[in-house]
Amino acid sequence: MTIKAQVEAIYRSESRRILATLIRLLGDFDLAEEALHEAFFVAVERWQQDGVPANPRAWLVSTGRFKAIDRLRRQARFAASQAVLLAQAEELEEAQWSDDEVEDDRLRLIFTCCHPALAADAQAALTLREICDLTTEEIARAFLVTPATIAQRIVRAKGKIREAKIPYQVPSLAELSERLDSVLQVIYLVFNEGYSASMGTDLTREDLTREAIRLGRLLLELLPAEPEVMGLLALMLLHESRRPARTSTSGELVLLDEQDRSQWDASLIAEGCAQVEKALTTRRFGPYCLQAAIAAVHAEAQSAADTDWPQIVGLYDVLLRAVPSPVIELNRAVALAMRDGPLAGLQQVDRILNRGELLDYHLAYSARGEFCRQLGRVQEARVAYEKALALTQQVPEKRFIERRLAELCQSE
């Protein structure tokens, strides 16, 4: 492997940890991002001559830090606030750090990004951008808003952190509860982007699902008795157990009822189900516990036909009362169709769309197309699938919908 390829591989696996540490050391998001990119640029050149260091992450953090100090000193020559910049550079130069601290920096950064001083919509957007390196387009897709809206939220959030001097730390146990919901949401958004990428050639991004699960485990270490933390970790583990079966060897999308369940990871299922049971015994469970319970019912079924669909519909009913959401309602419609037939599912989807909700959500039209296909309503199915095709930016999903459309043409 060439040095350039090794640097690219290290960037993919380590850049967000390095960035999190640089943000802690430098106290500024933008300065840390510049330092990160300069460090990797230097690495390509320097490692060609000296070889890859024994600890690339520590080397990159140190290089990025010194690049930031140099930048501050250069800026001081031309800035009216020369004394302030020089003092900042000297403070950074004297600061001590250990590579042992790096492992928890991403969790520290999540709590910083989820500080209650920030608007709720900005918290998740900033975290997904800074911690997971998602583009504004990918984040916008997750939130069903425009990239410009996401960019504005991120800029405002960075400014607020800087102006309010929000500390870079995991809060005390007394403060954790007020930030927990936001942190859970962010971790789950990270996982979802990995489990079903919003765009691109691959259906999944294992780096993101793995990172979200790692963060979930760290959070559970902080809050071992918190049922919603157990529930989120269980939910991610149970979904992740199915990931290998979600695509064929050629990269095609495979629906849940068609998956080879022998490919499901039994160890992840066992761990996830154990966490679900532990969470449910507290009787203080919330939305993540309920979603994990639904995933556990799927995981325990030997086949799609053996799935306890009445129980899943019942759990969705409870979930909807706790968290009214058109997306959850759509998922319930799919379960309802499995229990009562495609017409029941179609009627629920149409209620959602007629309310003007999920009109830009491709999965709503995919579900409608599937129900119409099963009912023999070919023309309606085609229209729904064409809308879904126009909305999705995920290549395997596009190919799946195109196959469905081709099958409808052959059936006429």
Given a cut of 70, is residue 96 above it in pLDDT?
no
Given a cut of 90, is residue 154 above it in pLDDT?
yes
Given a cut of 60, is residue 268 above it in pLDDT?
yes
Given a cut of 60, is residue 78 above it in pLDDT?
no
pLDDT at 92: 47
Most confident of the following: 43-57, 74-88, 263-277: 263-277
For the segment 47-73, the average pLDDT, to the nearest whole number, is: 85
Residue 81 belongs to what H/E stretch?
A: none
Given a cut of 50, is residue 84 above it in pLDDT?
no
* Contact between residue 193 and residue 207 where contact means Cβ atoms under 8 Å apart: no
Superfamily of domain 319-412: Tetratricopeptide repeat domain (1.25.40.10)
**Domain layout of the chain by residue ranges:** 1-97, 319-412
CA atoms within 13 A of residue 152's CA, in its CB half-sphere: 5
Residue 260, burial from CB neighbour count under 10 angstroms (0-12, 13-18, 19+)? exposed
pLDDT in tens, 322-358: 999 999 999 999 999 999 999 999 999 999 999 999 9
What percent of the chain is modeled with pLDDT above 70? 92
Given a cut of 50, is residue 116 above it in pLDDT?
yes
pLDDT at 29: 87
Cα separation, 220 vs 241, whole angstroms = 19
Residue 286, burial from CB neighbour count under 10 angstroms (0-12, 13-18, 19+)? middle
Tell me the pLDDT band of 247, cut-offs 50, 70 and 90. confident
pLDDT at 402: 93
Given a cut of 80, is residue 172 above it in pLDDT?
no
For the segment 102-109, the average pLDDT, to the nearest whole number, is: 72
The average confidence (pLDDT) of the chain is: 86
CA angle 148, 153, 154 (to 5 degrees): 100
Total residue count of the chain as it appears in this document: 412
pLDDT in tens, 178-237: 778 888 988 898 898 888 876 667 777 888 888 889 889 988 988 888 999 999 999 999
Higher pLDDT, 119 or 385: 385
pLDDT at 68: 82
Higher pLDDT, 318 or 132: 318
pLDDT at 291: 97
